[in-house]
Amino acid sequence: MKRITVAKTAGFCFGVRRAVDAAFAEARSGTPACTLGELIHNPRIVEELARAGVRVIESPAENTDGRTVIIRSHGVPPQVYEELAASGARVVDATCPYVEKLHRLAAEHSGESVTLIAGDPSHPEVVGIAGFCEGETHIFRSAEELDKIIPILDNGGNRPVTLLAQTTFSVPEWEKCVEKLKKVCTKLRIFDTICIATEKRQSEARELAAQSDAMIVIGGRKSSNTAKLAQLCGAYCDTFLIESAAELHDLDLGGYTRIGVTAGASTPACIIKEVHKTMSEILKDQDELSFEEMLNESFKTIDNREKVTATVTGIAPNEISVDIGTKHAGYVPLSELTDDPNAKPEELVKVGDQMDLLVVRVNDVEGTVMLSKKRLDAIAGFEKVMNAVDTEEILEGTVVEVIKGGVLALTNGVKVFIPASQATLSRNDSLEDLLKKKVQFKILEVNRQRKRAVGSIRAVLREQRRELEEKFWQEVEVGKHYTGVVKSLTSYGAFVNLGGVDGMVHISELSWNRIKHPSEIVSVGDTVEVYIKDIDAENKKISLGYKKAEDNPWVIMQRDYAVGTVCTVKVVSMTPFGAFAQIIPGVDGLIHISQISNERINKPSDVLSIGQEVEVKITELDSEKKRVSLSIRALLADKAPAPAEEEAPAAEESAVVYEAGPDGAQGEIPEDSAE
């Protein structure tokens, strides 16, 4: 009996499917579009897109009719992006996220070292990667070609070297190259950028080839990853590379009992199915399983779990009935439909709905099969989390537990461990504050075997803060007002977070009155209104103002007080030449010794005491010089009856010269103090 086995990973990878979906979406939209080079290395897809009106151009200059330009999954060099921007064309960037990661690595690290790229120098993906490299760059196809480059790495291997790989590079060949470079380079930075899907596909192809008499590898002949699959399989058994099912008629498969089938990342499922069907007809083995049965059997996972598309046929209080297209009666218990114990099946689905489910248990005796939506969602969630380490996708989840050393966040049904050092921006922040809160994080590392993932909230917060900083520095200007949060206090001022950028309010800018510490005015966590006083763009420092002009005590004095005004003041300090008294907070006036009493006194304390409240008359007010003269004697003179004759004063009193600032500091000693 002949047996045909299809590799589980055969067919479209994530990046290719993403690009194909984007291209056909543009075709369906009716907007004229074109692809910059063949979208993927598969003739049928390219032909189908052409029939849908999406033609191929080789350079931006060929887009003469203003079509939307779709950048293929292989990516392009920076200069192509510049040409597209200059042309004004609308761009749909379908570059594979794994390739985009390579572009970032090349741009970040190539300038500081020699860059080595393992890959085909003529392949569009490698051309794109090389375009992002600065400085000395070398490309090699194999470990043998690498041997010719190694002598160029002079100084006894002490030059910094960055090693990258084309996403579809051969894994065994990559391992050889890494080992060679480790022996000669003391400053080697290695980035294993071979796509996970490529590694898995190559690994599975080797295993399947080792168990087969022949291998059929399906894919475009221009496809790099398809060619490498054929090369790998050829080391174990007879291997045939075909682009379509029609090519099977030229092969003699009669002498093979076990035939394995795999396909490149750019091969659609429809071609794989056509190959199966044609192989079945050619082999004419009636005892063999039918094509559909054979295909279903070959795609089953190792633990016999299978993903199926089912149609809802009935709804009961504790389960739903589904049709999975077989003789079995399918059902999904409520506990396998949702985690919500209060949910009702009729609120979740209705008869006729189609849904993807996972086979949990088959009972051939009773003719039933139990299925689960919840477990399938968990598998999809697991894959999403595992892949996020390479795509650098930001995930969202809820912190469900605070444990020793960090927190656990639940996302897509998977618990992700976030270490304390990666949970907050500051080590002083409490982990307990995160409990039951929604958070965003990136995946730093994964262990598929142990189904564990480590994430970082801090990485997302730092990116968000960097974006806010860039926006802030683009818009900031002196005088602009902001609402901020007091972040910390020092003896000399308060630091305020303005949304990504911290500014400082000096202690002298917190209040018009003299204060000893910022905590007298604000507390950490307070929301405050501030304005930009000064900007040091070079050192990225911001000086902030907090006190308002209308609260300036001298503005109040000028508005509410005038020469001749009688008011009650409080004595705050004594000097040999007089007493200083507070009129309003922030403004003190001087009662000269000669203005304290009608009678001659030796010192102010003979009549006044600190803390005493007295009634005075304002005899001089100079807001510009911040000086106020007060007099008790003037009020006594107003109240006393006029004498018949007054003696002329022996000498004219000298003018009072002093300054009382808003901080309460008394000014200078009078130039000629009385007595």
Is 175 marked active-site? no
Using CA atoms, how far apart are residues 87 and 661, in angstroms rounded to an integer? 64
3-state secondary structure of 378: helix
CA distances from 374 to 110, 254, 337, 360 (A): 45, 44, 5, 11
Render the burial of 400-430: b for 16+ CB within 10 Å, e for the rest: eebeeebbbbebbbbebbbebebbbeeeeee
Using CA atoms, how far apart are residues 333 and 320, in angstroms rounded to an integer? 7
Positive or negative torsion for Cα 331, 336, 342, 343: negative
Is 573 annotated in a binding site? The answer is no
Copy the structure tokens of residue 219: 């894919």
Copy the structure tokens of residue 523: 């507390």
Long-range contacts of 312-318 (CB under 8 A, 24+ apart): 312/349, 312/350, 312/351, 312/352, 312/353, 312/354, 312/355, 313/351, 314/351, 315/345, 315/346, 315/349, 315/350, 315/351, 316/345, 317/344, 317/345, 318/345
Is 73 annotated in a binding site? The answer is no
In which residue are the tokens 């993403």 written? 18
Render the burial of 127-142: b for 16+ CB within 10 Å, e for the rest: bbbbbbbeeebbbbbe
Is 41 annotated in a binding site? The answer is yes
Reference 125, options 164, 163, 68, 160; nearest CA is 164
Is 335 annotated in a binding site? The answer is no
Using CA atoms, how far apart are residues 241 and 251, in angstroms rounded to an integer? 11
Is 296 annotated in a binding site? The answer is no
Is 372 annotated in a binding site? The answer is no
In which residue are the tokens 């489910």 written? 357
Length of the chain: 675
Among residues 26, 38, 83, 125, the one annotated as catalytic is: 125
What contacts 365, CB < 8 A, 6 or more positions away? none
Count H helices, E strands: the chain? 19, 32
CA distances from 473 to 251, 479, 490, 538 (A): 67, 14, 25, 11
Is 74 annotated in a binding site? The answer is yes
Structural contact between residues 305 and 360, judged by C-beta atoms closer than 8 angstroms: yes
Residues belonging to the binding site for dimethylallyl diphosphate are 41, 74, 123, 223-225, 266
Residues belonging to the binding site for [4Fe-4S] cluster are 13, 96, 195
Residues belonging to the binding site for isopentenyl diphosphate are 41, 74, 123, 223-225, 266
Q: Which residues are catalytic?
A: 125
Residues belonging to the binding site are 13, 41, 74, 96, 123, 167, 195, 223-225, 266
